[in-house]
Structure 1
Amino acid sequence: MAITLRQLEIFEKVAVCGQVTQASGQLLLTQSAVSMALAELERLAGAPLFERSGRRLLLNDRGRQLLPEAQDVLARVRKIEQFLEDSVGTPVGTLIVGASTTIGNYLLPAMIGEFSRLYPGAKPLLQVGNALQIEQGVESGELDLGLIEGLQHLPSLTATPWRRDELVLIVGKEHPWASLGRATPEMLASATWIMREKGSGTREVFETAMERAGVSYVVALELGHTEAIKKAVEAGLGVGCISRMTVQRELDQGWLFEVASPVDLQRTLLIVTRKNDYRSALLKAFLALLECKLDL
């Protein structure tokens, strides 16, 4: 039997994603290459490791038993690779950065591009999810560090303040609040709210701020992406609350209107890392770049 590390890496990624399509995108491989590697691994294993359900791949009992063993091997290999990379003295290798949606879509792409120009031997990869997903990824070791826009959930991590941000209330140009420009607590309580899903940093900050202000509310529509919220609000379906950095263009163009309120919607963006964890030259270099972007 000649199982390769690449086959184990592909197996682990497919097991986590549950789909060849998503796994191939994260691994930067073709779907056919991923499928061939899985087929070869299952041939070497002598039996299937997954149950096929449409386009979904679900681990069977043998696959579930293999997964932690494969993850342990891959973690050991990554530590060896990191040690060898660090010994060169120049930040090189792959750094997996996780970011909650607003940060990942609006702030980090330019920074990652700048980091790649500064360190040609480095390969930063960005994974976007909601704040809780990013924290869980950092805690498990799947992510090297994370940037979140909500409240810290996991005390096992170190959370460092990074930047200030502000949420704004937005309505479409035909909404009655557009001409008023502000809303009272009573108006907020009766509004048709269009919000991000539970677990997102924006949703948590909004909920905390409304609770502190003593305002009851009902979320009528949950959408998993900021762009979808903007389009729904622009279409007159309700009132949204999102980061100013994500909606400034629409406000400037007059497609959406900002509404002032008595609710404090300021927030702090956070860098989350594992406590007492070894920091490679690569990780230190990326953290140094983030510190250059501080605005606190």
Structure 2
Amino acid sequence: MDQALEVFVTVVEKGNFTRAAEELLMTQPAVSQYVQALERSVGTKLLDRTNKYVRLNKAGEIVYHHAKEILGLYTRMNSLVDDLMHRAGGNLSIGSSYTFGEYMLPHLIAYMREHYPLIRPTITIGNTTEVAEMILRHEADIGIVEGDYHDEKLHIEAFAEDEMVVMVPRDGRYDHLQELALSELANETWIVREAGSGTREATERMFTRYGVHPEHIVEFGSTQLIKESVEAGLGVTLLSRWVVRKEVQLGTLHMLAPNGKPVARQFSWITQKTPYHTKAVEVFLELLHQRRGFPKEV
């Protein structure tokens, strides 16, 4: 691997040469020499520098983007070769959408850590679009996304069905009901996730399916904030049954099936299109399909 690329990426992400030198256990002049050598190699300056900051210029943005991919591929190559001689272990980078990542993945990771202690997982949470972009940029080994996501550059495979239900406040209006025509909630304030979220996609698909067009919509980027807002009486929402397990058990929120049946969607895993996976990824995929460590549903 060209060490100049690693040094350059570290300088960019740390924001200056001094912090990069500390991270890499190098002297600051050595870091500068590596960056200068890379700039000579590509034939142009890559950084705008002052005494206070280091910033990428246009050429630097191109090099940084590709350097991240090169370093990711190099790490992956070493992991695959190392796996030929060792049991499942090493780093496992997981990108996950909010519903699965915040409410199901912790249980799965706990099970994996107990049975495969040599695997070292790291988790990044984002919406479905952000997770897919992480895989495309080689920033994660595997991603978990919600809903109907398609990308010809990625391998996408469904592994579980998710049921989504309408959540309403415990204010007496709906407490006696288990199901309700969605049209009866058209005048409510609907609290929805941001564009790019699998939950937002499922909500809009539900509105279209039942011909409902709410006049009042509030958009929040946090599932926990949405639950708290519904509990406070701000409005109603559509969420996964996994997300509201505790609130339903505690009785702080009330669950309704829209038009008598939950809204169904898929959880899918995504990877690069390749026949080669590290043993850590293979173990994780096996646990996904076996549902090992999954919490109990409501």
SS of the residue aligned with 2:10? helix
- Of residues 226-235 and 115-124 in structure 1, the stretch that sits farther from structure 2 once superposed is 115-124
| Alpha-carbon shift at residue 133 of structure 1 (Å) | 1.2
Given that 1:151 and 1:205 are in contact with CA atoms closer than 8 Å, whether structure 2 keeps it comes out as no
Counterpart in the other structure of 1:82: 79
Pairing 1:268–2:257 present: no
Pairing 1:254–2:251 present: yes
Given that 2:21 and 2:31 are in contact with CA atoms closer than 8 Å, whether structure 1 keeps it comes out as no
SS of the residue aligned with 2:243? helix
Pairing 1:43–2:32 present: yes
* Residues 198-209 of structure 1 mapped to structure 2, 5 A cutoff: 198-209=195-206
CA distance in 2, matches of 1:35, 1:224: 36
Given that 1:8 and 1:74 are in contact with CA atoms closer than 8 Å, whether structure 2 keeps it comes out as no
Pairing 1:239–2:236 present: yes
SS of the residue aligned with 2:162? strand
CA distance in 1, matches of 2:178, 2:80: 57
CA distance in 1, matches of 2:59, 2:274: 35
Amino acid at match of 2:223: T
Distance 1:239 1:35, change over 3 A: farther
CA distance in 2, matches of 1:186, 1:73: 52
Counterpart in the other structure of 2:129: 132
SS of the residue aligned with 1:143? coil
Which digits, 9 at most, give the CA deviation of each residue in 1:93-146, with x for residues without a partner?
Answer: 211111110111111112122223323322121111111111222233222111
Counterpart in the other structure of 2:194: 197
Distance 1:140 1:181, change over 3 A: same
Which digits, 9 at most, give the CA deviation of each residue in 1:12-31, with x for residues without a partner?
Answer: 6x2xxxx87xxxxxxxxxxx
Counterpart in the other structure of 2:139: 142
Aligned counterpart in structure 2 of residue 176 of structure 1, from 173, 176, 182? 173
| Alpha-carbon shift at residue 150 of structure 1 (Å) | 1.8
SS of the residue aligned with 1:246? coil
Counterpart in the other structure of 2:7: 7
Counterpart in the other structure of 2:224: 227
Given that 2:7 and 2:31 are in contact with CA atoms closer than 8 Å, whether structure 1 keeps it comes out as no
Distance 1:175 1:50, change over 3 A: farther
CA distance in 2, matches of 1:231, 1:57: 41
Q: Percent identity?
A: 29
Counterpart in the other structure of 1:153: 150
| Alpha-carbon shift at residue 218 of structure 1 (Å) | 4.0
SS of the residue aligned with 1:134? helix
Aligned counterpart in structure 1 of residue 95 of structure 2, from 95, 98, 119? 98
Amino acid at match of 1:268: Q
Counterpart in the other structure of 2:105: 108
Aligned residues: 276
- Of residues 236-245 and 36-45 in structure 1, the stretch that sits farther from structure 2 once superposed is 36-45
CA RMSD of aligned residues (A): 3.2
Counterpart in the other structure of 2:281: 283
Higher percent of residues as helix: 1
CA distance in 2, matches of 1:135, 1:109: 20
Distance 1:146 1:218, change over 3 A: farther
| Alpha-carbon shift at residue 11 of structure 1 (Å) | 4.3
| Alpha-carbon shift at residue 230 of structure 1 (Å) | 0.7
SS of the residue aligned with 1:257? strand
Structure 2, unaligned runs of 5 or more: 37-44
Distance 1:67 1:257, change over 3 A: same
